[in-house]
Amino acid sequence: MSVHPIAGAAAGATRPAVTLPRLRESHARGEKIAMLTCYDATFARLLDEAGVDVLLVGDSLGNVIQGESSTLPVTLAHMSYHTRCVAMGRRSAFLVADMPFGSYEASPQQAFAAAAELMRSGAQMVKLEGGGSTVETVRFLVDRGIPVCGHLGLTPQRVHALGGYRVQGRDDAAAAVLRADAAALADAGAALLVLELVPSALALAVGAANPGLLTIGIGAGAGTAGQVLVLHDMLGLTPGKRPRFVRDFTRPAGSEAAAPGLSVAGAVTAYVAAVKDGSFPDPELHGY
Ligand code: KIV
């Protein structure tokens, strides 16, 4: 039996609540935003206490919790359940929840109903993948009081359309589309933008062109306003070859050797410190 009481969101906060205005203020001061995925109350409490700014209930739970080979089987009910779990463990960190595949593409009205469900479960912002037709939906949600995080570059819900998990925006035409999508999402009111698997120079240019948009990179270099990793990846728990952009924070920097005694909390604290001091990602090791 666990001896750790899991406090609800309102109980005993140890740092001021992380809010959108506070994220913007820290960005203006030059402080990087540390984001990690999170799927349950125990990890929410641990990540929050380690100083993670933003918890993302990612639909990557399809891979790392459910054992699926993609995020496509994840449903709105799954996302609501895990969002509620994280909300129960969170104290101060900002909580973003992914809109799963099939919950927002048909119409802005469909998206609003799904987003409202996630907000009722404790999300403070929802994340949608893609530009193009997603832009109108983002505007619809923002106009109705739902904060939105966009997601461009490698969008895993479109893995079959993209032909695999690979770096996006490498050629001029693809980079121009990504830049235009980012500008359109910013204009529609998105506050955060995850950039996944894009060349570092492109991610830097997107941030510079859209100062109102906080860019969060994953495999997008060191020039974004913040970084995100999948929790199980940065804890070295994901089997198989580690992608180039991931660092296993349970091991000493640059080492493949196991680091006996480095706790989960220690690894997460090291991640937050490395994001904040700019040592992660390392342009030589983790960028494209
Ligand atoms: O679902 C997820 O974990 C994500 C991250 C990869 C950003 O969207």
Higher pLDDT among residues 171 and 262, named by residue:
171
Q: Which long-range contacts (CB under 8 A, 24 or more apart) does 234-242 make?
A: 234/36, 234/267, 234/268, 234/271, 235/264, 235/267, 237/64, 238/64
Is residue 9 assigned to a domain?
A: no
pLDDT in tens, 140-150: 999 999 999 99
CATH number of the domain bearing residue 72: 3.20.20.60
Mean pLDDT (whole number) for 83-93: 98
Is residue 145 assigned to a domain?
A: yes
Is the pTM here over 0.85, yes or no?
Answer: yes
Pocket residues: Cβ below 6 A from ligand 1: 37, 56, 58-60, 98, 194, 196, 218, 228, 230
Number of domains in the chain: 1
Is residue 4 assigned to a domain?
A: no
Is residue 11 assigned to a domain?
A: no
150 Cα: distance to centroid of ligand 1 (angstroms): 11
Q: For 145, which DSSP code? A: T
Q: Is the CB of residue 149 less than 8 Å from the CB of residue 119?
A: no
Statement: residue 259 has pLDDT above 70: no
Statement: residue 238 has pLDDT above 50: yes
What residue type is 79 in one-letter code?
A: M
Domain of 165 in residue numbering reads as 20-286
272 Cα: distance to centroid of ligand 1 (angstroms): 17
Is residue 42 assigned to a domain?
A: yes
Read off the pLDDT band of 6 (50, 70, 90): very low
Statement: residue 8 has pLDDT above 90: no
Average pLDDT of the chain to the nearest whole number: 93
pLDDT in tens, 119-130: 999 999 999 999
Give the model's pLDDT for residue 251.
86
Pocket test for ligand 1, best of 151, 165, 230, 237 (most atoms within 8 A of CB): 230
13-27, 34-48, 94-108, 218-232: which range is least confident on average? 13-27
Is residue 5 assigned to a domain?
A: no
Give the model's pLDDT for residue 5.
39
pLDDT in tens, 31-54: 999 999 999 999 999 999 999 999
Is residue 13 assigned to a domain?
A: no
Is residue 14 assigned to a domain?
A: no
Provide the percentage of residues in the chain whose pLDDT is more than 70: 93
Give the model's pLDDT for residue 1.
42
Residue 145 token pair? 């009081």
